[in-house]
Structure 1
Amino acid sequence: MTVAMEPDPNAAKWVIPLMLSVLDRAILVSPTGKLNDNLIHGALRLIMNQYPSVLCQSPMRQKLKGRGYECYLDKGDKINRFVQIIHDKQRDHWFCAYLKGSKVMVVDSIRTTHLSDTSSLFLQQLARMDKSMLNQNIVFQRCQQQTDVYSCGLYAIAYAFAAARSDDIPQMRFTQSQMRRHLKGCLENLKLAPFL
Structure 2
Amino acid sequence: MFEINYAVRGHHIYQRIWTPVIGEELICKRDLTNHHNRFAVAVIKDIDTVVGHAPRKVSSVFTLFLRHGGTIKCRVTGHRCYSKDLPQGGLDVPCVYVFDGKEKDLLKAEELIKQAMISISDSPIAEPLSRRRIGMKPDVHSESPSEKAVDCDLITSVLRGEKLSDKHMYLAQGILKNQFPDLKGLQSTLLQGRRQVVSIDPTDCCNCLQVINSRENHWILASSVGCGNKVNIYDSVFSQLDEETKQVVCKLFQIDPINIEMKTFQKQVGGTECGLFSITALTAIVFSQDPSKIAFSQEKMRDYLATCLRNEHCFPIYN
Normalising by structure 1, we get a TM-score of 0.77
Amino acid of the residue matched to residue 48 of structure 1?
K
Evaluate the alpha carbon distance shift between residue 43 and residue 77 of structure 1 in structure 2; reply closer, same or farther with a 3 A threshold.
Answer: farther
> Which 5+ residue runs of structure 1 have no aligned equivalent?
1-10
| Cα shift at 1:118 | 1.8
CA contact (8 A) 1:106 1:140 kept: yes
Q: Trace 1:149-164 onto structure 2 (pairs within 5 A).
A: 149-164=271-286
Retained in 1: the 8 A contact 2:283–2:316?
yes
Q: Which residue matches 2:315? A: 193
Structure 1 Cα separation of the partners of residues 215 and 153 of structure 2: 21
Q: State the partner residue of 2:302.
A: 180
Which runs of 4 or more aligned residues in structure 1 lie more than 6 Å from their structure 2 counterparts after TM superposition? Answer: none
Aligned counterparts of 1:73 and 1:165: Cα–Cα separation in 2: 24
Please list every run of 5 or more consecutive structure 2 residues that lacks an aligned counterpart in the other structure: 1-129, 137-147
Is the counterpart of residue 144 in structure 1 residue 266 in structure 2? Answer: yes
Q: Give the whole-Å Cα distance in 1 for the aligned partners of 2:181 and 2:286.
A: 10
1:83 counterpart (195, 209, 223): 209
How far off its partner does 1:71 sit?
Answer: 3.1
TM-superposed deviation, 1:176: 0.7
Indicate how the Cα distance of structure 1 residues 70 and 147 shifts in structure 2: closer, same or farther if over 3 A, else same.
Answer: farther
2:232 pairs with one of 99, 105, 125: 105
The superposition leaves residues 55-113 of structure 1 with CA deviations (integer Å, 9 ceiling, x where unpaired) of 23369x9956xx534435565875761000001143x110000112110110011133x
Inter-partner Cα distance in structure 2 for 1:69 and 1:182: 31
Cα RMSD after superposing both structures: 2.7
Residues paired across the two proteins, number: 176
Q: Whose relative contact order is higher, 1 or 2, with alpha carbons under 8 Å and at least 6 apart?
A: 1
Q: Which of 242, 247, 264 lines up with 1:116 in the alignment? A: 242
Using the size of structure 2 for normalisation, the TM-score is 0.49
**1:29 aligns to what?**
159
% identical aligned pairs: 23
**Contact 2:163/2:272 (8 A) holds in 1:** yes
Matched, 1:12 2:131: yes
Contact 2:209 2:221 in 1 (8 A): yes
SS of the equivalent of 2:181 reads coil
